[in-house]
Amino acid sequence: MSQYNLIDLTEQYIKAFDSKDLQGLAEMLCDDFVLEDPAVIRVEGKENSLVKIAEIFNNCDKLSFTAQNIFRDESNTIIEFHLKLDDLMLKGTDIIVWSGDKMKELRAYLDLPK
């Protein structure tokens, strides 16, 4: 059993992303963090991932990231989410792999408009 409450950590991630808190997100990521999603494909490393996340934040005036459900097992959480970027509403799923209290990997699955 993990000594960390992965649901609480996941909720911290959601809050940081929703408020465009890049520094808060940085504190949650392992140095060898890996980000995968349909837009960026695969980015390795904390700093490289933060650059991509900052691009998302900077490319919209209004951002809303809300969890519909959060599921967990021993070292992973799954978020079913709604992400609103200005007038674009996206629905998807994030799978987060945790290493202790840090995010090791985030794989996002969502349909992007063509």
Residue 1 has pLDDT above 50, yes or no: no
Percent of the chain with pLDDT over 70: 96
Q: Is 0.85 topped by the overall pTM?
A: yes
Q: Domains in the chain, please, with CATH?
A: 6-110 (3.10.450.50)
- Torsion sign, CA atoms 67, 79, 24, 4: positive
Question: What pLDDT digit, counting tens, does each position of 46-90 carry?
Answer: 999 999 999 999 999 999 999 999 999 999 999 999 999 999 999
Helix (H), strand (E) at residue 58 = helix 46-58
Q: Tell me the one-letter amino acid at 54.
A: A
